[in-house]
Amino acid sequence: MKVGIDGFLRLFLIVLVSFLQSNPVVAAAPQSKGDGSKNPALAEEVKEIKERLGAIEEGLEKIDAELEIIKSQSRMVIHRSSLGFLNQTYIKGGFALILPRARTIPFQTDTGLGVFAGIGQYFGRNHVLDLSLEWDLYPALSLRYRFEIHSNNPLLTFGPVIGYKIKAAGTNPFDNFLEKPQDVKNSFPFLGAIVGFPLNRSLLIIEIIYLFNSQQFIFANAGVHFFI
């Protein structure tokens, strides 16, 4: 709103200056300069008008400078609201598609589904720690670190992910895709990559991770990070 008011005021002052400059009294100023003593009232009026024009021009310059500051601040606000990464905390949720590597697992498997929720913290803009509660192979906790690279054109974030997953409870998988879920390893280191698409105060993410511990699984995670 402030930008709109200043823009309107600036337009009004430009029109006013144009009007005053077209005023016959002002236009006659150069001719009156030599004989100001013959018509002191006219000379005084011309002087006053010139002083007002000078004040108006100075005001226009100040408005221009203020508009530039407002534009710069607006760009910073838009950039921050779009990306919102600097030292930010977020909560997350989503789904996982689980692809077992059959040759590494000594029982029958199929493609499975999982769910997850968690919380994360940015340290600066690029370093992120993330703690998740997951229910996929079994209820589990995962701690992951990622290094994010941010791009403005196109607007996205991406980077490598490393982490560790540990079994939290002996419940069966979220989806019945393992013949012998009790024989799944209790912990897995993992590595992978993430791609995120900023949207206002949230980040749509796609993450691919590879779990390995003699048994191997590929997870394709899709979810949303909500910045708080």
Decide if 101 contacts 188 (C-beta within 8 A). Answer: no
**Is the pTM value of this prediction over 0.75?**
no
Instruction: Provide the residue type at 81 as one letter.
Output: S
Question: How do the domains of the chain map onto residue ranges?
Answer: 2-83, 89-227
pLDDT tens for 152-191 read 878 899 999 999 999 999 999 999 999 999 999 999 999 9
CA 123/CA 136 separation, integer angstroms = 28
How many whole angstroms separate alpha carbon 13 and alpha carbon 104? 78
Neighbour tally for 176: CB within 10 Å: 11
pLDDT per position as a tens digit, 113-137: 999 999 999 999 999 999 999 999 9
- Given the candidates 2.40.160.20, 2.60.40.10, 2.40.50.180, 3.30.465.10, the CATH classification of the domain at 89-227 is 2.40.160.20
SS3 55: helix
Contact (CB, 8 A) for 202 and 225: yes
